[in-house]
């Protein structure tokens, strides 16, 4: 049963984006910038690299140039300065050979309420291989994380700043609390100023009943619900692809089962094949 009430009225206001200065990180940075401009909020960009190999400041993206290209400010001003838009920005360069612990140190210092990360495609046991950052960072930080999977349909057009966010898929179940995903979806829509979204609550349950969930009172959002049976991850991916969804929002308990260590949580399995960005919202004790 859907109930039109919900206590949460927040937006994302402290955004942190880890970057390796590659194309996928640049796309994640532009998503972080667009969210910070919508809040308005604070934006922190973190780069970690070996000692003595820090990139020059000119290698980092120009926040002002991007915002000016989107028609949101004039081009004049310091290269990275958009303080006149009410969005303080910080770029942090860290010398370290241990990427995830170094970024986690910055997370503890800056206390973001949202991480935005690019996520290279991989799956199965291959997540043990290579220098992967996004999944362990999100898991160990315990912070809501917007993943921008490689090759997905982005929420933000990197050239124009136009938003592609109308259809939001929120899988819900009794555990974790369905309010996690619902509140995460609402905060994202509010932050980006989306007033005409369709939010589709997908409940995987053979009994055929939606759980009782409180909904935000925001005007203009169309809440819909459906109960289906089947394997959770394949069904979420099927609906996200066929509908199609612009964003998938999932609450998560983190790694609370042995199979999570082998194959990843359901959220991690979804984001590895999702056709769109995925927002992971952890339970308070999930870190």
Asked if residue 130 has pLDDT above 60, the reply is: no
Of 23-27, 129-133, 155-159, 248-252, the poorest mean pLDDT is in: 129-133
Q: Are strands 42-49 and 145-149 parallel, antiparallel or unpaired?
A: unpaired
Residue 134 has φ and ψ, to the nearest 5°, of -60, -50
Among 149, 167, 201, which residue terminates a domain? 149
d(CA 101, CA 251): 24
Of 27-36, 74-83, 97-106, 277-286, the poorest mean pLDDT is in: 74-83
Q: Name the maximum alpha-carbon separation found in the chain.
A: 60
Q: State whether 23 and 111 are in the same domain.
A: yes
pLDDT tens digits for 244-255?
999 999 998 754
Among 120, 149, 178, which residue terminates a domain? 149
- pLDDT score recorded for residue 74: 81
Q: State whether 23 and 131 are in the same domain.
A: yes
- pLDDT score recorded for residue 5: 45
Q: Are strands 114-119 and 213-214 parallel, antiparallel or unpaired?
A: unpaired
What's the mean pLDDT in 258-265?
A: 46
Among 97, 117, 149, which residue terminates a domain? 149
- pLDDT score recorded for residue 261: 44
Count CA within 13 A, CB hemisphere, residue 254: 15
Task: Flag whether 7 is in a domain.
Answer: no
Could you tell me the residue range of the domain that residue 135 belongs to? 14-149
d(CA 127, CA 70): 36
Asked if residue 226 has pLDDT above 90, the reply is: no
Q: State whether 136 and 176 are in the same domain.
A: no
């Amino acid at each position: 049963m859907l109930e039109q009430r919900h206590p949460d009225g927040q937006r994302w206001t402290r955004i942190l984006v880890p970057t390796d200065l590659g194309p996928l990180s640049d796309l994640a940075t532009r998503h972080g910038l667009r969210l910070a401009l919508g809040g308005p909020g604070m934006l922190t960009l973190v780069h970690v690299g070996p000692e003595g190999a820090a990139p020059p400041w000119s290698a980092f993206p120009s926040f002002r140039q991007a915002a000016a290209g989107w028609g949101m400010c004039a081009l004049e001003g310091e290269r990275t300065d958009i303080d006149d838009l009410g969005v303080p920005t910080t770029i942090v360069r860290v010398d370290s050979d241990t990427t995830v612990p170094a970024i986690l140190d910055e997370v503890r210092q800056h206390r973001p309420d949202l991480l935005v990360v690019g996520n290279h495609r991989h799956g199965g046991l291959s997540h043990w291989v290579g220098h992967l950052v996004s999944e362990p960072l999100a898991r160990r930080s315990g912070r809501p994380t917007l993943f921008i999977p490689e090759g997905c349909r982005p929420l933000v057009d990197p050239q124009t700043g136009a938003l592609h966010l109308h259809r939001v898929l929120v899988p819900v179940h009794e555990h974790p609390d369905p309010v996690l995903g619902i509140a995460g979806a609402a905060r994202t829509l509010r932050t980006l100023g989306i007033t005409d979204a369709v939010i589709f609550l997908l409940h995987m349950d053979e009994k055929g009943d939606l759980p009782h969930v409180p909904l935000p009172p925001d005007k203009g959002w169309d809440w819909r619900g459906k109960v289906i049976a089947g394997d959770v991850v394949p069904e979420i991916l099927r609906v996200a692809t066929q509908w199609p969804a612009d964003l998938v929002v999932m609450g998560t308990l983190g790694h609370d089962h042995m199979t999570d260590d082998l194959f990843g949580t359901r959220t991690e399995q979804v984001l590895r094949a999702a056709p769109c960005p995925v927002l992971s919202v952890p339970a308070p004790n999930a870190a």
